[in-house]
Chain A
Amino acid sequence: MRVDSLILRTAVRYLFPLLLTFAVFVFLRGHNDPGGGFVAGLVAAAAYGLYSIAYGAEQARRVLGVETRLLIGIGLAIALLSGLAGLTSGLPFMSGLWIDLPLPSPLNKIGTPLLFDLGVFLTVLGVTLTIIFALEEVE
């Protein structure tokens, strides 16, 4: 499925970091404005997906640095752990724990729900890339 095009490669070289940054932005604003871990995960996946189209799946895997299925596992693990965190304070599963940070909004409140959203982000990224790479490698 790799497309051999110099223009595409050049474009991707600039788009790739841009998309990743955008993903982080979407992720962070999610709790207060439309956005969130899911969409951010898709955006990040789009970045790697484009990269793989330009440079091939194998190269994209190398840039990602983690086996995609492992990413799914890590994402789920983070989500589960964020849920279990509440238990340590004697609260039910998935209870939010929050810490105030001396930072500007939206970074001033850090809590387990955000950690959970990070889990969502990683899982979505992992799944989408697993599918994209697999499709590319089969074709």
Chain B
Amino acid sequence: MNEWLLALPFFILLLAIPLALWMRQQGLTTAQMGWLLALFPLASLVMMGYAVLSAQGQPVAVSIPWAPAFDISFSLYLDGLSSLFALLILGIGALIVIYAGGYLGSDPNIGRFYAWLFLFMFAMLGVVLADNLLMLFIFWELTSLSSFLLIGYYHHEAGSRSAALQALLVTGGGGLAMLAGVVLLGQIGGTFEASALLVQGKALQHHPLFVPVLALILLGAFTKSAQFPFHFWLPNAMAAPTPVSAYLHSATMVKAGVYLLARLNPILGGHPIWLYAVGGVGAATMLVASVLAYSQTDLKRLLAYSTVAALGTLTLLIGLGSPLALKAAATFLLAHALYKGALFLVAGAVDHETGTRHVPRLGGLLRAMPLTATAAGLAALSMAGLPPLFGFIAKELVYESGLEAGPIWMAVALFMGLSTVFVAGMTGVAPFWAKPSEKLPHSPHEAPSTMWSGPLLLASVGLLTGLLPAGAAERIIGPAASSMAGQTIPVKLVLWHGITPAFLLSVVTVVVGTLLFAYRTSLRLTLQRLSWPWGPAYLYERSLDGLNALARFQTRLLQSGALRYYLLTIVLSVVVTVGWVLLRSGVPWVLPLSVNDVLFYEAALAVLILGATLAAILSPFRLGAIAALGVVGAGIALIYLMFGAPDLAITQFAIEALTVILFVLAFYHLPRFKNLSSPSVRRSDAVVALLTGSLMTLLVLVAVDVEISPVVSRFFAENALTKAYGRNVVNVILVDFRSLDTLGEITVLGVAGIGVYALLKFRKGRTKAESAAPSLARRSAQPAQAASAAPALTPSVPLPTDDPAEASKGGEAS
């Protein structure tokens, strides 16, 4: 029963996708859609909650086989950690769905929006519930994809498109590394089920491949969670509609990397590399994001940088890995989701009502938007870490962990705390309490209920858990921290725990942070002057440019359009590989070369053929070359005749004659031969040609040097008359023993006939292409005679056609 309650939400969320599209068709208003669709995540949340509660602290698991050939099963595992994430995904998700109904009020494409949003919700829930790591990866990639589609929701704008692509490439690239890491992890651990791997504990750390596995998985986690130096995609992702930013790029998806680290901490954690790689990257991210936050003025970008800093904090805490740090991580995760979600939604509401997100322009919204302002205030206070809000408890824990770990870590935490206070002031206080600097694009009113209910609820929950933290500690944070640690961590949270070093540091943070906020303008200007353009984002742009340049260069180099270079490359590849193999095996040096058996006329014939060959090459006249070619063919026919192959000789003669006639007919009108290539080109071509020729000679000699088995040919000799009733064995082979070859052969002939006919006679409404693209610059060389060449079938009326080749040609010629 519990097991199925775990799987059912996935189907519910999937069902919402077509339903959203259908509702749109039925003409529901966006707000109605929002309220109705919010029932889907809510129902899912209730099911999961019931499953957790009735499991009495034990993990709930279910496994549905799916792709056994790949060791992938749809196996779900719900423990403390995944419950915490599921709560955020579904709970905040429901609020976001309602909110989007107001925010995208007049959008005709809201059906699609909800479809992608539910696809994301489905995928994100999968990430945190999947027990099978490959399954987790599948959901992981789906979150990247749905994030791509949602960031690019305003796809008419180039900025949205490039931001979407950037997010996809960065997270997708990390995802690929992670795939390799996961596959290796599964191979060294013997299973892809996380629960089974967790049992093995730290044993895997002794495997020689452990470090690469760790590095690859970290790469996936870091890109997804926007850790330095991959942090740059997240602020750019703010091009998405605000509900998306709040949901994907603050509350849930960006935390998937943190989730993965937390999930795998019991297996991978504790290794020295883990501490420095995870803790160090987390710290660097906190520092970079904090600094960058000070120079922002856009509400969403401010929140984005502080989100990056928060993600860094979570990463740092997991890197530290002590029970205290993990407890802090779980607490901070929840607190951050509550206040940051609320602030994002507030930012959206402000933007929606005033038409701007530029903080220096905003102010005085308290009167017009009291409910929104209340939500903003509560959330900002929580974010700044003031009692009695939940953010205070979380920050105290972070500081305590910092103190526990050492002064450097503590300094980083403090640095980040300052910027948090600053951003809280910028986003939650300034727009409402500061004086407006100029007139706003719209005169603001309170946002609709869809849009204030969400932030207010989140902010109130932040207040409530701050006042009464015990329940959350016991039910949510304790189990989550225990899952992260792989052992039970008892968690008791209290709002007030006396004057401790952490508390004193908190006071310092608030005071200094408030000062920074007060002098925000001069701080920003100073930082903007000092700004340094060569960051990772710059590198990303340059590497895209570099990629394009490299691609163009390589294509010009390889795909030059000149046939002779293609041929040269192919010929040389063959000569080099075959020649090298032969030389390596030492074959050429042991060949017996005997010419004792050559008869005089045979030698003469050979000389004749080679002479005619040379003549064909050197002839300055087309007809001369063709005639010489004919002589070569005839000479070969004579060879066939001499060596017991009259059928071949007859056929060769007949075909040679026919070929020469065709050559003459086809090329009668062509201009004289010219020597188009320079002498040096001709010389080097001659060298290549002679090399190839020598190689082929060598190969023939090698082949005839080996003893051949006569079994097959003897069969034909013995059975041609008795079983196939023919005396001419060659003909019997052609029409009986190997008649399938002949069937193919005449098919080739037939197709060639059709082809020649089609090529020579095909004419159709050329005029159409020309009238469609009159500017089309046809080469002047397009001979007038071409039109008169085949008067027979040129239709005078242009035929209607859907022929793509014509216009594609038009596109290229221009």
A-side contacts of B655, CB under 8 Å: 42
Cβ contact of B756, chosen from A39, A43, A111, A130, cutoff 8 A? A130
Q: Mark A105-139, 1 if CB is under 8 A from B, else 0.
A: 00001010110110110011011101100110111
Question: Is A52 in the interface zone, CB < 8 Å from B?
Answer: no
B-side contacts of A72, CB under 8 Å: 750, 753-754
Question: Is B608 in the interface zone, CB < 8 Å from A?
Answer: no
B-side contacts of A36, CB under 8 Å: 647, 728, 731, 734-735
Residues of B703-730 whose CB lies within 8 A of A: 724-728, 730
Q: How far is the CB of B295 from chain A (nearest CB, A)?
A: 75
Binds A, one of B300-308, B353-361, B555-563, B739-747: B739-747
Closest A residue by C-beta to B789: A138
Given the contacts A36-B735, A138-B761, A131 and B743 also touching, CB distance less than 8 Å: no
Question: Is B488 in the interface zone, CB < 8 Å from A?
Answer: no
Q: Are B792 and A42 in contact (CB under 8 A)?
A: no
Question: Is B589 in the interface zone, CB < 8 Å from A?
Answer: no
Complex CA gap A94/B741 in Å reads 11
Binds A, one of B320-328, B370-378, B475-483, B658-666: B658-666
Cβ contact of A69, chosen from B731, B754, B792, cutoff 8 A? B754
Residues of B120-170 whose CB lies within 8 A of A: none
Question: Is B28 in the interface zone, CB < 8 Å from A?
Answer: no
B-side contacts of A109, CB under 8 Å: 725
Q: Are A135 and B749 in contact (CB under 8 A)?
A: no
Residues of B178-230 whose CB lies within 8 A of A: none
Cβ contact of B735, chosen from A68, A114, A127, cutoff 8 A? A114
A-side contacts of B739, CB under 8 Å: 83, 94, 113, 116
A-side contacts of B761, CB under 8 Å: 134, 137-138
B-side contacts of A68, CB under 8 Å: 753, 757
A-side contacts of B662, CB under 8 Å: 131, 135
Q: Are B665 and A123 in contact (CB under 8 A)?
A: no
Cβ contact of A128, chosen from B658, B666, B742, B789, cutoff 8 A? B658
Complex CA gap A32/B728 in Å reads 4
Residues of B636-655 whose CB lies within 8 A of A: 646-647, 650-651, 654-655
Question: Is B736 in the interface zone, CB < 8 Å from A?
Answer: yes
Q: Are A39 and B728 in contact (CB under 8 A)?
A: no
Pick from A42, A69, A113 the residue with the most CB of B within 10 Å.
Answer: A113
Q: How far is the CB of B721 from chain A (nearest CB, A)?
A: 9
* Interface residue tally on A, bucketed by range: 35 or more
Q: Are B750 and A127 in contact (CB under 8 A)?
A: yes
Closest B residue by C-beta to A80: B743
Q: Are B725 and A98 in contact (CB under 8 A)?
A: yes
Question: Is B732 in the interface zone, CB < 8 Å from A?
Answer: yes
Q: Are A79 and B746 in contact (CB under 8 A)?
A: yes
Complex CA gap A39/B735 in Å reads 13
Q: Are A31 and B753 in contact (CB under 8 A)?
A: no
Question: Is B670 in the interface zone, CB < 8 Å from A?
Answer: no
Question: Is A30 in the interface zone, CB < 8 Å from B?
Answer: yes
A-side contacts of B727, CB under 8 Å: 31-33
Given the contacts A31-B726, A34-B646, A137 and B792 also touching, CB distance less than 8 Å: yes
Complex CA gap A19/B132 in Å reads 79
Q: How far is the CB of A16 from chain B (nearest CB, A)?
A: 18
Closest A residue by C-beta to B669: A139
- What does DSSP make chain B's interface, helix, strand, loop or mixed? helix
B-side contacts of A76, CB under 8 Å: 746-747, 750
Cβ contact of A113, chosen from B646, B665, B724, cutoff 8 A? B724
B-side contacts of A120, CB under 8 Å: 735, 742, 746
Q: Are B757 and A126 in contact (CB under 8 A)?
A: no
Question: Is A56 in the interface zone, CB < 8 Å from B?
Answer: no
Q: Are A96 and B753 in contact (CB under 8 A)?
A: no
Q: Are A113 and B735 in contact (CB under 8 A)?
A: yes
Complex CA gap A130/B757 in Å reads 7
B-side contacts of A124, CB under 8 Å: 746, 749
A-side contacts of B593, CB under 8 Å: none
B-side contacts of A34, CB under 8 Å: 646-647, 650, 728, 730-731
B-side contacts of A113, CB under 8 Å: 724, 726, 732, 735-736, 739
Cβ contact of A31, chosen from B658, B735, B750, cutoff 8 A? B735
Q: Are B726 and A123 in contact (CB under 8 A)?
A: no
A-side contacts of B666, CB under 8 Å: 135
Question: Is B760 in the interface zone, CB < 8 Å from A?
Answer: yes
B-side contacts of A128, CB under 8 Å: 658, 753
Complex CA gap A96/B734 in Å reads 13
Q: Are A69 and B760 in contact (CB under 8 A)?
A: no
Pick from B735, B740, B792 the residue with the most CB of A within 10 Å.
Answer: B735
Question: Is B752 in the interface zone, CB < 8 Å from A?
Answer: yes
A-side contacts of B726, CB under 8 Å: 31-32, 113
Complex CA gap A128/B750 in Å reads 9
A-side contacts of B651, CB under 8 Å: 38-39
Question: Is B581 in the interface zone, CB < 8 Å from A?
Answer: no
Residues of B32-71 whose CB lies within 8 A of A: none
Complex CA gap A74/B222 in Å reads 69
Q: How far is the CB of B664 from chain A (nearest CB, A)?
A: 10
A-side contacts of B646, CB under 8 Å: 34
Question: Is A1 in the interface zone, CB < 8 Å from B?
Answer: yes
B-side contacts of A139, CB under 8 Å: 665
B-side contacts of A96, CB under 8 Å: 724-725, 736
Complex CA gap A84/B731 in Å reads 20
Q: How far is the CB of A136 from chain B (nearest CB, A)?
A: 8
Q: How far is the CB of B262 from chain A (nearest CB, A)?
A: 65
Given the contacts A126-B753, A135-B665, A35 and B731 also touching, CB distance less than 8 Å: yes
Residues of A28-68 whose CB lies within 8 A of B: 30-39, 42-43, 68
Q: Are A116 and B749 in contact (CB under 8 A)?
A: no
Q: How far is the CB of A60 from chain B (nearest CB, A)?
A: 15
Complex CA gap A130/B756 in Å reads 8
Complex CA gap A83/B651 in Å reads 24
Residues of B356-408 whose CB lies within 8 A of A: none
Closest B residue by C-beta to A139: B665
Q: Are A37 and B750 in contact (CB under 8 A)?
A: no
Given the contacts A34-B646, A39-B651, A116 and B742 also touching, CB distance less than 8 Å: yes
Closest A residue by C-beta to B646: A34
Complex CA gap A119/B724 in Å reads 18
A-side contacts of B511, CB under 8 Å: none
A-side contacts of B749, CB under 8 Å: 123-124, 127
B-side contacts of A117, CB under 8 Å: 731, 735
Q: How far is the CB of A97 from chain B (nearest CB, A)?
A: 11
Question: Is B790 in the interface zone, CB < 8 Å from A?
Answer: yes
Given the contacts A134-B757, A138-B789, A138-B790, A33 and B728 also touching, CB distance less than 8 Å: yes
Closest A residue by C-beta to B749: A127
Q: Are B731 and A42 in contact (CB under 8 A)?
A: no
Q: Are B731 and A30 in contact (CB under 8 A)?
A: yes
B-side contacts of A94, CB under 8 Å: 736, 739-740, 743
Complex CA gap A32/B730 in Å reads 9
Q: Are A123 and B756 in contact (CB under 8 A)?
A: no
Pick from A73, A109, A123 the residue with the most CB of B within 10 Å.
Answer: A123
Complex CA gap A117/B646 in Å reads 18
Can you offer 10 A-B residue contacts whose CB atoms are under 8 A? A1-B665, A32-B727, A36-B735, A39-B650, A43-B654, A94-B740, A113-B732, A113-B736, A116-B742, A138-B760
Using A116-B739, A135-B760 as known contacts, list a sample of 13 further A-B pairs with CB atoms less than 8 Å apart, ordered by residue number in A: A1-B665, A32-B731, A34-B730, A35-B650, A36-B734, A37-B735, A76-B750, A79-B746, A113-B735, A113-B739, A116-B735, A128-B658, A138-B760
Residues of B bordering A, CB below 8 Å: 646-647, 650-651, 654-655, 658, 662, 665-666, 724-728, 730-732, 734-736, 739-740, 742-743, 746-747, 749-750, 752-754, 756-757, 760-761, 789-790, 792
